[in-house]
Amino acid sequence: MFELIGIPPQAFFGQVMLGLINGAFYAMLSLGLALIFGLLRIINFAHGALYMIGAFVAWLILQYSGIGYWGALIVAPIVVGALGIAIEVLFIRRLYELDHLYSLLFTFGLALVLEGLFREFFGSTAHPYPIPAELTGVQNLGLMFLPIYRGWVVVASIVVCLLTWFLLERTRLGSYLRAATENAPLLQTFGVNVPRMVTLTYGFGVGLAGLAGVLAAPIYQVKPTMGADLMIVVFAVVVIGGMGSIGGAIFTGFLLGVVEGLTKVFYPEASTTVIFVVMALVLLMKPAGLFGKA
């Protein structure tokens, strides 16, 4: 076998693949954050907690009603999305008039409550979630062995991201959304129910987080803290990409996943900090982010 600067190719491509998987989650979560930010102008700190709830919904319906992975892929985003709609209608709606920092603080408090409740009722330990039978096994790609489930996660995430992009850029509903982002009062004069659109956007954004939670359950296991730690990295990703564009959020998510993976190959000590270092560099050179509008 050949070697790449002293790194065996299995290790190299294995880490790139792991990076792509992390990137798939970064992309889906920062996509949801960017969607919500675009219309509501708030940063949803509870995004990680809702991702965690998505995973828990999958685990709970498997335990108590026998609905498996494929059912969970549909049920969990709907449950999380509905929860998001309730949160928007009951609380977040009241905060639009105020400084956006208040909604950040509110959703931070909400994240603490949700995480605390799940820790109280389900304990801090991780609950394993089985990989669905159709996706078990390993594929030999020649250069590396690819667990089929991991390949599926990357493909599924890309498909979801592209569908969302298509929905926003190529459909009538998407054009309404973009119009509301530009000038909500004007759109309202055309008879579009903007407040309802805002509510549904929040629901859709957190529904994406719920879906990401189900996809993550078999890889990272289901535990109450799974969202919080991921969230901070996703925030850094959002700062790097800038929240100007949906495509930018998706691209930056995958890119930074791969950057993280490559760092694990060449300088493992820095793998946990590399994204933050990239963030600092981007801020120095392009404060608005890679895809942000200044």
Partner 1 sequence: MSPNASAPALGATPPTTSTAKLALLIVACAVLAAAPFILYPVFLMNALLFMLFACAFNLMLGFGGLLSFGHAAFFGMAAYIAGHSAKVWGLPFEVSVLLGTAGGAALGLVFGLLAIRRQGIYFAMITLALSQMVYFFALQAPFTHGEDGIQSIPRGLLFGLIDLENDRVLYAVIAIIAVGGMLIIDRVVHSPFGQVLKAIRDNEPRATSLGYDIDRHKLIAFVLSAALSGMAGATKVFVFRIATLSDITWHLSGEVVLMALLGGVATVWGPALGALIVIVMQHYLASFGAWVTIIQGITFMACVLLFREGVAGVFIKVVNRVRGAS
Q: What is the 3-state secondary structure (H, E, C) of 37-90?
A: HHHHCCCCCCHHHHHHHHHHHHHHHHHHHCCCHHHHHHHHHHHHHHHHHHHHHH
Compose the 81-100 pattern: x for residues touching partner 1 by CB under 8 A, - for all others.
----------x--xx--xxx
- Using CB under 8 A, which residues numbered 243 to 282 contact partner 1? 269, 272-273, 275-277, 279-280
Shortest reach from residue 279's CB to partner 1, in Å: 6
Q: How many residues does the structure list for the chain?
A: 294
Shortest reach from residue 257's CB to partner 1, in Å: 16
Shortest reach from residue 72's CB to partner 1, in Å: 25
State the residue for tokens 């989650």.
25
Compose the 130-169 pattern: x for residues touching partner 1 by CB under 8 A, - for all others.
----------------------------------------
Contact stretch for partner 1 (CB under 8 A) within 16-24, 136-144, 227-235, 252-260: 227-235
Provide the CA 80 distance to its chain's centre, in angstroms.
13
What type of residue sits at position 151? G
Q: Which of 62, 160, 208, 239 lies at the binding interface for partner 1 (CB under 8 A)?
A: 239
DSSP state of 131: P
Contact stretch for partner 1 (CB under 8 A) within 71-79, 161-169, 206-214, 232-240: 232-240
CA torsion, points 62, 158, 78, 192, in degrees to nearest 10? 180
Distances (CA, A) of 185 to 199, 223, 258: 16, 42, 41
DSSP state of 294: -
Q: Which of 8, 16, 89, 119 lies at the binding interface for partner 1 (CB under 8 A)?
A: 119
CA distance 5 to 206: 42
Which residues are at the interface with partner 1 (CB under 8 A)? Answer: 42-43, 91, 94-95, 98-106, 108-117, 119-120, 232-233, 235-236, 238-239, 269, 272-273, 275-277, 279-280, 283-284, 287
